[in-house]
Structure 1
Amino acid sequence: MNDVVIIGGSFAGLAAALQLGRARRNVVVLDTGKPRNRFASHSHGVLGHDHKPPLQILSEAREQLRRYPTIKLISTSAVSTSGAKDDFTVLTSDGEGMAARRLILSYGVIDLMPAVAGFAEAWGTSIVPCPYCDGYEVAGQHWGLVWSGPQALNYVRLYHDWTDTLTVFSDGHDIPGDVRADLAQRNVSVVDGRITEIQRHGGHHATVKLDTGLDVVVDILFAHPRNKPSAGLHDALGLETMKTPLGIALKVDERRETSMPGIYAAGDLANPAMSSVTTSISQGATAGISAQQSMLA
């Protein structure tokens, strides 16, 4: 029997595997090879790996994990999980069944692209969600923000550490008068109308086309489309979740344990606050250490 099966082999899953492997625990990592940030050309703010392509960082991490004989990396997905603490079973898409004492869920989320021409093609380059990941490279330039609801005002406040030139696109949302007054006081322009197309011009630059006939050129566009878990294993297990402005996240305690004893979660799947490589690595390490310590005699 494996000590731990980790479902999802991106930053959180590999960070968990590293801690478990160094504790000489038998761990299997199942990975589909489709990390959420695979569309980004570079990953920023990761200590020791700043400005490296995310796929390169993951490739280097896998090479480092291969020096630990108790870690097994498998390119496959999990189709079902069952059992309870100390007696879990994971069935893979290859038809293989794996037994494990603990499970770590780190299969992340999928961003749901809106039906706007050019949006999906610009995602990760001209359209990004995180200023900590991409803001420095375009600091002081003209930023755009697609309004996504009341939480968007917090993004406006945050972005002022990077730029004083910001345009908000309401994209059909009804922005209340008091919020518009707040935006005006911050020298933030509001452009009404629905976005019909995004035209990318190389690098981060893009033109936002609206159904009003207006075209607005920005140096980078920030957007926060809704997302969903990339797999449904947590639903089948009956794990507790929480609603967020952009989707759902798994409920975990301070040790990253879910509502079912013996199952831990890390990364974007269980991070409703802010998604980043750094936080995913931190949460993955915590999940791995917590799972290891829970098996101590």
Structure 2
Amino acid sequence: MDVDVLVVGGGPAGLSAALILGRCRRNVLLCDDQQQRNRASQEIHGLLGSNGRSPEQFLRDAREELAGNGTVLIRRSRVTKVDPSGGGFAFVCADGTGGIAAKVLLATGLVDELPQLVGVEAFYGISVHHCLYCDGYEYAGKRLAAYGKGDKGADLAVMMKHWVKDVVCCSDGTEVSGEAINRLRQHGIGLRRERIRSLEGAKGALARINFESGSHLACSGMFFSTGCRQASHLSEHLGCKRDVKGGVITDPVTEETSVPGVYVAGDVSRDVLLVAVALGEGAKAAVAINKAFLRREGLCE
């Protein structure tokens, strides 16, 4: 299969790019393994016109919109390999699909490193979160826990005070520096140093954090600072340069990565990690890709 653009990843960034490229009448193959970062969330927040919609419904509607474009093909499969080949890129998918793409857009996103806590999976995306900008607003007037090893939890807890007044920092048995403890005191934030035994609640709603000491902390939710990683090895395999945060670096003029013909959009760039930004980055990358084609075709400078 030969295509103009291979879009790897079917989240907001990849779908947005495919929409623009399809409207530019480019032949696009979008491969999506449906492992989006926010798939556990109940609602999307901070997205104008779609605030409160579920990620599942948002993506379903987006795929239906793309289905009407004859030059865009969506496959539910993971791209396992991409290599430069004859001025383009040879690709292979897990379902056996393969071919050559003139350009590649990586919209593969990130994977959150969930806290290693008993019961966390039942609450993640409902009352245990990674993004204050996405979910902090809903907790006004409630008590929240800030989870992070060492000073990471303290730094997160201080930031959380902007959204809620009642915040407790949980360091899960790890040491917190004296400087961080002073900052917590200055902002009226409690510190629980004990190791956490488990999380407890019902139907995804966190109610309490149980400590190994036998005590517990009643709370309505938890935000964590444990880091995240690239969801795909493809940018590394291709040799795309990264910044200190692990985000793929792009040229401010061409929008390309350090590998000519390879572009990125969405969380893989490690910029602002919001759905609204991912949509914009996908559209911006699509315009850059189409301009590259236009220059090659002698239709623009």
SS in 2 for 1:39: coil
Instruction: State the distance in 2 between where 1:173 and 1:227 align.
Output: 20
Specify the alignment match of 2:269 in structure 1: 270
Q: Is the 8 A contact 1:20 1:27 kept in 2?
A: yes
TM-score (norm 2): 0.90
Between 148-157 and 279-288, report the one with greater CA deviation: 148-157
Q: Structure 1 pair 192/154, CA: closer, same or farther in 2 (3 Å)?
A: closer
Specify the alignment match of 2:130 in structure 1: 129
CA-CA distance at 1:133 after TM superposition: 1.4
Specify the alignment match of 2:298 in structure 1: none
Q: CA RMSD in A?
A: 1.9
Q: Structure 1 pair 21/86, CA: closer, same or farther in 2 (3 Å)?
A: farther
Specify the alignment match of 2:278 in structure 1: 280
Specify the alignment match of 1:238 in structure 2: 239
SS in 2 for 1:242: coil
Instruction: State the distance in 2 between where 1:293 and 1:40 align.
Output: 36
SS in 1 for 2:101: strand
Q: Structure 1 pair 42/206, CA: closer, same or farther in 2 (3 Å)?
A: same
Residue of 265, 269, 293 corresponding to 2:291? 293
1:93 paired to 2:94: yes
The share of aligned pairs that are identical, in percent, is 29
Matching residue's letter, 2:243: M
SS in 2 for 1:62: helix
CA-CA distance at 1:32 after TM superposition: 0.7
1:155 paired to 2:153: no
SS in 2 for 1:295: helix
Instruction: State the distance in 1 between where 2:204 and 2:123 align.
Output: 10
- Count of paired positions: 293
| Within-5 A mapping of 1:1-297 | 1-83=2-84, 86-148=87-149, 150=151, 152-202=153-203, 204-244=205-245, 248-254=246-252, 256-271=255-270, 273-297=271-295
Instruction: State the distance in 1 between where 2:85 and 2:194 align.
Output: 51
Structure 1 unpaired stretches of 5+: none
Q: Is the 8 A contact 2:144 2:221 kept in 1?
A: yes
SS in 2 for 1:286: helix
CA-CA distance at 1:249 after TM superposition: 2.7
CA-CA distance at 1:256 after TM superposition: 4.2
Q: Is the 8 A contact 1:11 1:58 kept in 2?
A: yes
Q: Structure 1 pair 148/14, CA: closer, same or farther in 2 (3 Å)?
A: farther
Q: Is the 8 A contact 2:90 2:99 kept in 1?
A: yes
Q: Structure 1 pair 132/204, CA: closer, same or farther in 2 (3 Å)?
A: farther
TM-score (norm 1): 0.92
SS in 1 for 2:240: coil
Instruction: State the distance in 1 between where 2:40 and 2:262 align.
Output: 30
CA-CA distance at 1:193 after TM superposition: 1.6
Matching residue's letter, 1:159: M
Instruction: State the distance in 2 between where 1:12 and 1:135 align.
Output: 23
CA-CA distance at 1:172 after TM superposition: 2.8
Q: Is the 8 A contact 2:147 2:224 kept in 1?
A: yes
SS in 2 for 1:88: strand
Instruction: State the distance in 2 between where 1:149 and 1:269 align.
Output: 26
